[in-house]
Structure 1
Amino acid sequence: MQNTTPNPKADPLLELIQPDEAIQQHLARFGARLIHVNEVVAIEVAGEIEGLIPGGAPLPYRLVPDQGSLAKIAKWRRLSPEQRLALVQERMTPAIHDALEDDIADFVIDVQKRARKSGVDAVAFLGALQTGRELFSRRRQVVENRLEEALHRREETEHRDAALRSVPLARYPESFELASGMRRRFIAILGPTNSGKTHQAMEALTAAKSGVYLAPLRLLALENYERLLDRDVAVSLVTGEERRLTPGATHVASTIEMLDTGRQVEVAVIDEIQMLEDLERGSAWTAAVCGAPARTVYLLGSLAAKPAVEALAHRLDCPLEIHVLQRKSPLSMEPHAVGSIGQLQRGDAVIAFSRREVLEWAAGIARAGLRVATLYGNLSPEVRRAQAQRFRDGEADVVVATDAIGMGLNLPIRRVVFTTAKKYDGISEDILPAWLTHQIAGRAGRFGIHEAGHIAGFDDSTHRAIARLMKTHPEDLPSRGFYVTPSLEQLQSISRATGEQSLAKLLETFSRNIDLSDDFFLPGDFAEQIDRARWLDVLRLSLPERFTFSLVPFSSRVTMLNDAWQAWARKVANGRRNYLSDDLEAFERAKYPLQAAEDACKKYSAYAWLGYRLPDFFPDAEAAVEIARETSARVDRMLAAQNQDGRRAGARDTRRPPHRSGESRGGMLRRGRR
């Protein structure tokens, strides 16, 4: 142990504390001096400790012992020289000095052990002990913080390297073992709405010995399931919330997330391939293209998807045929805006962009004496189907819908009327993208029912804006940057490689550190899943259970649904079953019965979704499906009654109903932003 006596004159404020010769001599024995810091007089000790640093270099330090603060400067100046000396001698003794150096040595040895264990050099952090003018406890915390940060960075680097080794994203297609081992070919049928894309592919699927149809929506899966049934094909329906299993089925109609990558088929049909670019769900299309185990894979969608399809086929080394179809019936802008509700006609589809606006327009149109069907994203597939059927059967003159109408739902629409050319995207209200405008407008003039389709804006400014958008060519999808999300197997692989058990941290590791070698594949947006995972990580659930709960399809923003989800998770964590309670009448007592009934449908569907994945804890899945159907029927009756009441309520009103832009909850069509 060696002391280094500092120069007392080095303190420019020394005159304020006026140390006399006796104090200076006493402190010099310990390599100490008086200092003035933060209006306090204190003792600062400097020295070197041998044998702590590898290589033999002494460890220098300059610190204030934790008992080295003497007095505030005003009080110090009131003390007599004798009182000052006595106070200094009390606070700096051989025992106190030795204890300080012992504490420093013990701390340094501990820091070096921890650093060495993780392969970190501790010497750089120990320089914080030489700053002076601060308590040892404070400088000790600085060293701790710097070491923890270095260890954290080191751990992140190790986790990143381990994750890169365990899940090489550049070889993502190889994770689908069955598909990657097959010789597959792609047939892309691209073109606008009403060009017969689905018809061609479904003909090939019907003729195949085995096959799968993959839909973006449960409603479309159901429609094509029934189409195959009508052709006497042995087909099963498999969606997240429903199973209709046919013994010996050769075909499956399912939502795209439910693709069975372990069952080889002759033909696969992937619908709405342009959804590859969707930030939230595009990863399901990437997985289907890479993993559909079919000899022939049909890719249906917009012509804008052509560069993406070509890039994927090249990357997967699959032969590609591209067939471009033209629209079967002409589509044109009306010469003038509609102008008033009184000018709406039978066969019109009126487009708004939120649930509230759809209901407001429906009420106004019903008051004008027209029969109305309503379609928006919050409705269950069963209700949307029933409302669409009312329009098909002529029980409704006009359909009022969000952009949910743009995907599937073949309706006998003669004219599409836009109430606005703007949509709220969750952040701000902005002009509609050209691709979405074309997709919605293309629903007009269904081939075989109308000779042509027509498009209009309700008011003049909307009409002009829609006309410009219809002349704008939709931007092509990029040929790289296809979204992927981690599977449970990939997360378990990362967990084994890193030792990490937190689902949230595993998801973050995948998102931030996974191999992006050439940016052909990119992590998708699973921020909401990570938020859910943070909540789930505090429960006594296995990693597979937490992963399953993190994926339940519901909106966490709906309080009733989020509360139910949390209650279910807590019960599973406690090893208890979740039995379904029949509270069908509860929503009728709610302040907003229609909204409550819509949310109830989603609750029962979420229960069924969990029931198919965790049957031991959710034994009432089949009952949940039936209750969801019954609740959907009630929603349909409530909508029909609401529109009927509107027709009875008043005389014909040609004024435009109130139109306020709001949060869009009805849209199903989204394209990711790059």
Structure 2
Amino acid sequence: MEGRVFLRIAGSVDHAGLHVPYALVPAQGVLAKPSKWRKLDAEARAALIRERSNERALRELHGAAAGFVRELAGECDEYGLAPMDFLHTLADLQTSEPATVVFDRIRQRLGHAVERQREERHAERTRQSINLAEYPASFEVARRLPRKFIALLGPTNSGKTHKAMEALAKAASGVYLAPLRLLALENYERLLEVTQHGKPLAVSLVTGEERRLAEGATHVASTVEMLDTRTPVDVAVIDEIQMLADRDRGAAWTAAVCGAPARTVYLVGAPEARRAVEALAERLECQLEVHVLKRKGPLAMEPGPVRKVKNLRPGDALIAFSRRDVLMWRDMVAEMGHSVATVYGNLSPEVRRAQAQRFRDGEADIVVGTDAIAMGLNMPIQRIVMTSTIKFNGYEEEEIPAALARQIAGRAGRYGIHEEGLVAGYDADSHEVMRSLLKEKPVPLNTTGFAVAPTLEHLHRIAAVTGETSLAKLLKRFIHNIDVPDGFFYPRITEDQMERATWLDTLPLSVADKFTLSLVPVSTKVVALQNAWEHWCVALSKQRTTRLQEGTSLYYMTLQEVEDTCRMYSAYAWLGYRLPDYFPDIELAQELSRRASERVDSMLQDQNTAARRRHRRR
């Protein structure tokens, strides 16, 4: 067999009630290649067989087989496996390989079986440790309160957020939960202007990167991920409730709906969230009122596309879907003599707000931005002009969904400033696509599969029953092994977090520290930010404190570099609030971030001015 002539010796081993027959090749059992064997006469063949199967060889083989049977039977007994499931192959294997190799292969099979059994046991224990059907019960304060939901659903410019904020301002205590730092900041300032019983409200601002804590605060403006689920309040406002369906952040809205510790919870957002909100209210056994609001002013498509930059007019918002395109269009518009405000996602909230304020104050004729203007920036836009309807979704370029098209278009025609809002495409294609998208019927959000992200408590529970300390393995168990009885709540993590977890597992860090570091809000796609994050992780693994320096002058940096520097300081502040012993320079980080924001704003203004000068020279 297998190009060899070899000797196979049969026998059996009796051990602890087992009878194990074998047919194995001894250590010197391979006699020759077939070509050589054919040249040997009968006497030479017999002599070779006698030499290789002498008494000593037989004893050694039997001793090795008996020792292996004892070893394997002991291991099987330890793991509760049947030894004959593995040992029966000793008599069945059709191979010329020596017994030692056969034994190793059976050991390998046993190892795989043990690993499978351990995996099944860990999976079962994980299932028993976390049942997502019980997820709402984990929010003890919300569970004890008699909660009522009021859904205020409507398109942009329907006054839904204004109505909810009025209720919040009148309440004795409350919390506003925003999708963006910018929105949290705007509504924080809005609440600061409110007076109750002749006194201004005591309001705190809480975001991942910033805390402005007022003594005796009764109201809090917060990003949704920063919800305090332990302090009961009278009113909570959860903004942009349709974000329940967001691929990466939807879990924060699930947690807010389940855990907002308020007697009255306002759910504010798009009409397509209605069925999802109704399903959640029923599951949580909360009373629900639904109010569907209409847009306060009409929204209409222009008869035809804009076609030329010179056809843009004051009050227009020009929409592109990348930073590069925004800056390109900004230059084109400025070179026609217009003053321009610029808004895109990479900018800090402070810069976005400063740019929007210029447009509000009439210092800028036209705003050029990404879909970042669709959420959280109230500007007196009369007409939305789409330069494109194709956007990169993180994986590929695709046509924007109708919901996003409606949200962007809805920013046109600010109530009380313009009689109607207008929408146009820059070219014929984008114009017709927008016309079609705005006619599309909204697709309702799913009524099951609400995302739940792992908490540190979840991971500790899994670690307690499996003994695992690898963050990547714990996250995989959370995704694949926890109990999801009816799929109403469903486990989710982001791809970024899983990639980071795999890298963090190479460092000597606790599960808690690895979990915190996996959530730091920096982009892995920006080399400078990724390098900073890795440096922080390595420093923490060595229990070194990371201090900030004043650093290089911002005046020697490009716009992109200053934007990234701003984001890096914000991420440091985020870490500082969670691991202050190792990242203590929170105030300096915020000051450096503020300076970088001011520098970005100044650079945008300088570039705008330079482009307009070029127009005047022509």
**Alignment deviations for residues 138-178 of structure 1 (CA, whole Å, 9 cap, x no partner):** 43343233323322222222222212222111110001111
- Out of 162, 181, 186, the position equivalent to 1:223 is 186
**Residue 591 (structure 2) pairs with residue 626 (structure 1):** yes
CA–CA distance in structure 2, aligned partners of residues 63 and 343 of structure 1? 89
**Residue 546 (structure 2) pairs with residue 578 (structure 1):** yes
2:446 corresponds in structure 1 to 478
What is the CA RMSD across the aligned residues, in angstroms?
1.9
**Alignment deviations for residues 383-402 of structure 1 (CA, whole Å, 9 cap, x no partner):** 21121112112222111111
CA–CA distance in structure 1, aligned partners of residues 603 and 37 of structure 2? 83
**Alignment deviations for residues 237-276 of structure 1 (CA, whole Å, 9 cap, x no partner):** 1100011111111111110000011111111110000000
**Residue 240 (structure 2) pairs with residue 276 (structure 1):** no
Q: Note closer, same or farther for the CA distance 1:602–1:133 as it changes in structure 2 (3 Å cut).
A: same
- Out of 500, 512, 515, the position equivalent to 1:532 is 500
Which residue type is aligned with residue 563 of structure 2? E
- Out of 615, 624, 631, the position equivalent to 2:580 is 615
Structure-to-structure mapping, 1:598-613, within 5 angstroms: 598-613=563-578
**Residue 158 (structure 2) pairs with residue 195 (structure 1):** yes
**Alignment deviations for residues 57-106 of structure 1 (CA, whole Å, 9 cap, x no partner):** 52133333344333433444455666655554444333333323333333
1:43 corresponds in structure 2 to 7
Structure-to-structure mapping, 1:203-602, within 5 angstroms: 203-231=166-194, 232-585=200-553, 589=556, 593-602=558-567
Q: Note closer, same or farther for the CA distance 1:333–1:159 as it changes in structure 2 (3 Å cut).
A: same
Which residue type is aligned with residue 72 of structure 2? V
TM-score by length of 2: 0.95
1:185 corresponds in structure 2 to 148
CA–CA distance in structure 2, aligned partners of residues 221 and 188 of structure 1? 20
* Gap runs ≥5 in structure 1: 1-35, 654-674
CA–CA distance in structure 2, aligned partners of residues 625 and 111 of structure 1? 63
- Out of 629, 632, 637, the position equivalent to 2:602 is 637
- Residue 483 of structure 1: SS of its match in structure 2? strand
Q: Note closer, same or farther for the CA distance 1:338–1:166 as it changes in structure 2 (3 Å cut).
A: same
CA–CA distance in structure 1, aligned partners of residues 356 and 423 of structure 2? 20
1:133 corresponds in structure 2 to 95
- Out of 60, 65, 83, the position equivalent to 1:99 is 60
CA–CA distance in structure 1, aligned partners of residues 616 and 70 of structure 2? 89
Which residue type is aligned with residue 136 of structure 2? P
CA–CA distance in structure 1, aligned partners of residues 410 and 205 of structure 2? 28
**Alignment deviations for residues 27-46 of structure 1 (CA, whole Å, 9 cap, x no partner):** xxxxxxxxx31x23332333
TM-score by length of 1: 0.87
- Residue 182 of structure 2: SS of its match in structure 1? helix
Which residue type is aligned with residue 187 of structure 2? N
Q: Note closer, same or farther for the CA distance 1:557–1:134 as it changes in structure 2 (3 Å cut).
A: farther
- Residue 189 of structure 1: SS of its match in structure 2? strand
- Residue 247 of structure 1: SS of its match in structure 2? coil
Alpha-carbon offset, residue 589 of structure 1: 4.6
Alpha-carbon offset, residue 108 of structure 1: 3.2
Q: Note closer, same or farther for the CA distance 1:327–1:152 as it changes in structure 2 (3 Å cut).
A: same
CA–CA distance in structure 2, aligned partners of residues 520 and 506 of structure 1? 22
CA–CA distance in structure 1, aligned partners of residues 87 and 287 of structure 2? 62
CA contact (8 A) 2:128 2:482 kept: no
CA contact (8 A) 1:189 1:300 kept: yes
CA–CA distance in structure 1, aligned partners of residues 569 and 216 of structure 2? 29
- Residue 525 of structure 1: SS of its match in structure 2? coil
Alpha-carbon offset, residue 324 of structure 1: 0.9
CA contact (8 A) 1:434 1:470 kept: yes
Between 1:86-95 and 1:568-577, the stretch displaced more is: 86-95
Between 1:65-74 and 1:282-291, the stretch displaced more is: 65-74
Alpha-carbon offset, residue 372 of structure 1: 1.6
CA–CA distance in structure 1, aligned partners of residues 475 and 185 of structure 2? 32
1:60 corresponds in structure 2 to 21
CA–CA distance in structure 2, aligned partners of residues 376 and 108 of structure 1? 70
CA–CA distance in structure 1, aligned partners of residues 376 and 258 of structure 2? 24
- Residue 161 of structure 2: SS of its match in structure 1? helix
Q: Note closer, same or farther for the CA distance 1:351–1:65 as it changes in structure 2 (3 Å cut).
A: farther
1:73 corresponds in structure 2 to 34
- Residue 574 of structure 2: SS of its match in structure 1? helix
CA contact (8 A) 2:30 2:96 kept: no
CA contact (8 A) 1:44 1:132 kept: no
1:163 corresponds in structure 2 to 126
CA contact (8 A) 1:368 1:652 kept: no
CA contact (8 A) 2:147 2:287 kept: yes
CA contact (8 A) 1:170 1:517 kept: yes
**Alignment deviations for residues 343-398 of structure 1 (CA, whole Å, 9 cap, x no partner):** 11111111111111112211222222222222111111112112111211222211
- Residue 15 of structure 2: SS of its match in structure 1? coil
**Residue 83 (structure 2) pairs with residue 115 (structure 1):** no
Alpha-carbon offset, residue 134 of structure 1: 4.0
CA contact (8 A) 1:219 1:382 kept: yes
Q: Note closer, same or farther for the CA distance 1:134–1:560 as it changes in structure 2 (3 Å cut).
A: farther
CA contact (8 A) 1:503 1:533 kept: yes
CA–CA distance in structure 1, aligned partners of residues 543 and 609 of structure 2? 49
CA contact (8 A) 1:275 1:282 kept: yes
CA–CA distance in structure 2, aligned partners of residues 67 and 215 of structure 1? 76
CA–CA distance in structure 2, aligned partners of residues 506 and 102 of structure 1? 44
Alpha-carbon offset, residue 588 of structure 1: 5.1
- Residue 377 of structure 2: SS of its match in structure 1? coil
Which residue type is aligned with residue 586 of structure 2? A
Between 1:418-427 and 1:240-249, the stretch displaced more is: 418-427
- Residue 58 of structure 1: SS of its match in structure 2? strand
Identity of aligned residues (%): 54
CA–CA distance in structure 2, aligned partners of residues 426 and 134 of structure 1? 54
2:138 corresponds in structure 1 to 175
Which residue type is aligned with residue 75 of structure 2? R
CA–CA distance in structure 2, aligned partners of residues 45 and 649 of structure 1? 95
CA contact (8 A) 1:62 1:132 kept: no
**May I ask how many residue pairs the two structures share in their alignment?**
611
1:662 corresponds in structure 2 to none
CA–CA distance in structure 1, aligned partners of residues 178 and 506 of structure 2? 35
CA–CA distance in structure 2, aligned partners of residues 601 and 97 of structure 1? 77
Which residue type is aligned with residue 6 of structure 2? A
Which residue type is aligned with residue 98 of structure 1? R
2:197 corresponds in structure 1 to none
Alpha-carbon offset, residue 627 of structure 1: 0.5
**Alignment deviations for residues 167-219 of structure 1 (CA, whole Å, 9 cap, x no partner):** 11111000111111111110110000001111111111111111110000000
Alpha-carbon offset, residue 650 of structure 1: 4.5
CA–CA distance in structure 2, aligned partners of residues 73 and 125 of structure 1? 32
Q: Note closer, same or farther for the CA distance 1:363–1:575 as it changes in structure 2 (3 Å cut).
A: same
CA contact (8 A) 1:187 1:298 kept: yes
